[in-house]
Amino acid sequence: MKKKLLNLKEASDFASKLLNRDISQSNISYLLQYGKITKYGDNGKTQIDCEDLKKYYKSFHGERENNWKKKLGDDLNWNLSFDYLREKDTTKHVHRLHPYKGKYIPQLVEYFLDDHTDEFKKKLLFKKDDIILDPFSGSGTTIIQANELGMHAIGIDISEFNCNITKSKMQKYDLNQLEVEINKLKKIIANIESETNIKDFEIDLLENLSVFNKRYFPTPDFRRDIFTGKFDEKKFGLLKEKMFNKQYEQLVRKYKIKLKQKKKKSFLDFWYIKNTREEIDKIFEHVKKIENNQLQMIIMIILSRAIRSCRATTHSDLATLKEPQLSTYYCFKHKKICKPIFSIKSWFTRYANDTLKRLKEFDSLRSDKKWDAIAGDSRIVDIQKEIAKKDSVFGELIRKKKIKGIFSSPPYVGQIDYHEQHAYAYDLFQMKRKDELEIGPLYKGKGKKAQESYIKGISKVLLNAKKYLVKDYDVFLVANDKFNLYPLIAESANMKIVNQYKRPVLNRTERDKNPYSEIIFHLKEKV
């Protein structure tokens, strides 16, 4: 049967009609680029087979909900999947100011706090000028969205660095002055680079990589071959990795590049190539001299984001480090041979520019409502007192009005070491870690003892928070409760679970793409 070929615009229109939602030409280009559908045409005229496109959406999109429900249960609330959103929507404005493991998307906060018209929302009382609390505030998603919705917000986190991320997102800046400080640092980095031969080495390396990758990993043909299962990706990739590494080693010798650091005592000693580490130390010496505390903090966050991306690891293992990567390697994420990071320059420049753009965008959306991020233990912290120390007006507002409710995602049992995920920042900025005060950290495991400790910890947080809540409060906790601990937690806190919403978690960053869900527990006072 003769193929019905469509150009990009026609394919976009066809897919939009098929799915009953807007599918842009860039969406179609993405499918081509990553080998999800076959590209036809030549001389710059890209064409797509209508049936190929229909088959893709039927297998991946149209039946996605049914496939997930078969594996996770019919009680899955697909409305809370937010599958219609693009990545730029779920990482809008300051939400992508710094990476953070285990955070939820801002639209989830909006759904439960904002004034919707569905039957679920009619039962809730959140409105503008209410005070919202997040006792496990992480990188500040709840605080930011509450502010955007015109609500006062308080975040508490045991990690000082996490609180700094939140503060950096929420502060108001003189963006012109921030840009001046950033440009100073860009010049300093350029001067550091000129003192080494790293630039010439990378130019030579990238030229060799380009030739090699075009020959053995042509885009999109290679991705298409993987997607259709034509050969063993791992076996082929590792074979070509060994082949290119001979060229890499020759260039390292030619330019006399020193890869390994002598010391192995700290995170920065272990996970960075020697040149990158030296750049980081020199740049931070200049950051410490910035007199404006707010500007210094946001630039430290930019620097932290940059050095996270410069760790000597593969692109696939950025979220969970395995071992230092000091040579070129086959990249399962980009489907070609990639290189480690030898300089911080490009990442700092990229993230500095991105930060300015995101701060400016949030400035147009933010409200003038009160907010704060407290670095403390949510089990014992005196919220009203801590707020009043810095803002007496806000402190008095909490005393009189009280907090209307909580929206938070407590740590999951034995899943993340929250201090360790930012070990590079604690190391560089010499901040005090409080790992021993984390609730349910990875290093304590998931056994019975860990579960009992977790129940006790979360219950204490809720009991402490209740001192500052209104009588008819609403508490929403996002959790993957595979050990069924939250009924016990609710009981220990003299609360009852009045409802729960099971949602699919899409677009996870980890390589494990198995269907995964979490539950939003709605709790109220037990009468």
What own/partner pairs with CB < 8 Å and gap ≥ 24 does 72-75 have?
72/502, 72/504, 72/515, 72/517, 73/502, 75/502
Q: How confident is the model at residue 41 (pLDDT cuts 50, 70, 90)?
A: confident
Q: Point out which residues pair with 503 in neighbouring strands.
A: 518
With respect to residue 499, please indicate whether it lies within any of the assigned structural domains.
Answer: yes
Last residue of a domain, one of 311, 345, 360: 360
Last residue of a domain, one of 304, 330, 360: 360
- Would you call 26 exposed, middle or buried from its count of C-beta atoms within 10 A (0-12, 13-18, 19+)? exposed
Helices (H), 171-219: 175-194, 198-216
Percent residues over pLDDT 90 in the chain: 73
Q: pLDDT tens digit string along 251-292?
A: 999 999 999 998 888 999 999 999 999 999 999 999 999 999
- Which of 85-94, 321-330, 404-413 shows the highest mean pLDDT? 404-413
Token pair of 526, please? 């037990």
Residues 347 and 271 in one domain: yes
Token pair of 34, please? 């990553």
Q: pLDDT tens digit string along 438-473?
A: 999 999 999 999 999 999 999 999 999 999 999 999
Which domain CATH number covers 468? 3.40.50.150
With respect to residue 191, please indicate whether it lies within any of the assigned structural domains.
Answer: yes
Task: Give the dihedral of Cα atoms 268, 272, 277, 279; nearest 10 deg.
Answer: -130
Residues 122 and 265 in one domain: no
Q: Identify the three-state secondary structure at position 5.
A: strand
Percent residues over pLDDT 70 in the chain: 95
Alpha-carbon gap, residue 437 to 124, rounded angstroms: 33
Residues 412 and 395 in one domain: yes
What DSSP assignment string belongs to 465-527?
Answer: HHTTEEEEEEEEEEE--TT--HHHHHHHTTEEEEEEEEEE--S-SSS--S--EEEEEEEEE--
Residues 139 and 283 in one domain: no
CA distances from 267 to 287, 321, 327, 348, 441 (A): 20, 11, 19, 20, 19
Residues 374 and 496 in one domain: yes
What DSSP assignment string belongs to 17-52?
Answer: HHHTS---HHHHHHHHHTTSS-EE--TT--EEEHHH
Q: pLDDT tens digit string along 417-446?
A: 999 999 999 999 999 999 999 999 999 999
Q: Domain residues for 307? A: 175-360
Residues 516 and 371 in one domain: yes
Residues 210 and 351 in one domain: yes
With respect to residue 68, please indicate whether it lies within any of the assigned structural domains.
Answer: no
Residue with tokens 């979490």: 518
Residues 303 and 335 in one domain: yes
Residues 156 and 205 in one domain: no
With respect to residue 108, please indicate whether it lies within any of the assigned structural domains.
Answer: yes
What own/partner pairs with CB < 8 Å and gap ≥ 24 does 495-501 have?
495/462, 495/523, 495/524, 495/525, 495/526, 496/523, 496/524, 496/525, 496/526, 497/521, 497/522, 497/523, 498/522, 498/523, 498/524, 501/77, 501/80
pLDDT reading at 39 higher than 60: yes
Residues 149 and 220 in one domain: no
CB neighbourhood size of 215 (10 A):
9
pLDDT reading at 316 higher than 50: yes
Q: pLDDT tens digit string along 105-162?
A: 999 999 999 865 454 554 657 899 999 999 999 999 999 999 999 999 999 999 999 9
Contact 407, 151 (CB under 8 A): no
Last residue of a domain, one of 316, 331, 360: 360
* Strand (E) or helix (H) holding 372: strand 371-375
Confidence (pLDDT) at 123: 60
With respect to residue 69, please indicate whether it lies within any of the assigned structural domains.
Answer: no
Instruction: Compare 3 and 501 and report the one with higher pLDDT.
Output: 501
Domains identified in the chain, total number: 3
Can you state the percent helix, strand and coil of the chain, rounding each to 5? 50, 10, 35
With respect to residue 280, please indicate whether it lies within any of the assigned structural domains.
Answer: yes
Measure CA 381 to chain center.
27
Element counts in the chain: helices (H) and strands (E): 22, 12
pTM of the full structure: 0.86
With respect to residue 448, please indicate whether it lies within any of the assigned structural domains.
Answer: yes
Residues 349 and 365 in one domain: no
With respect to residue 202, please indicate whether it lies within any of the assigned structural domains.
Answer: yes
Alpha-carbon gap, residue 140 to 390, rounded angstroms: 19
Query: Closest Cα to residue 413, out of 339, 480, 496, 488?
Result: 480
Helices (H), 310-391: 345-363, 383-390
Residues 240 and 254 in one domain: yes
Confidence (pLDDT) at 1: 62
Q: pLDDT tens digit string along 465-487?
A: 999 999 999 999 999 999 999 99
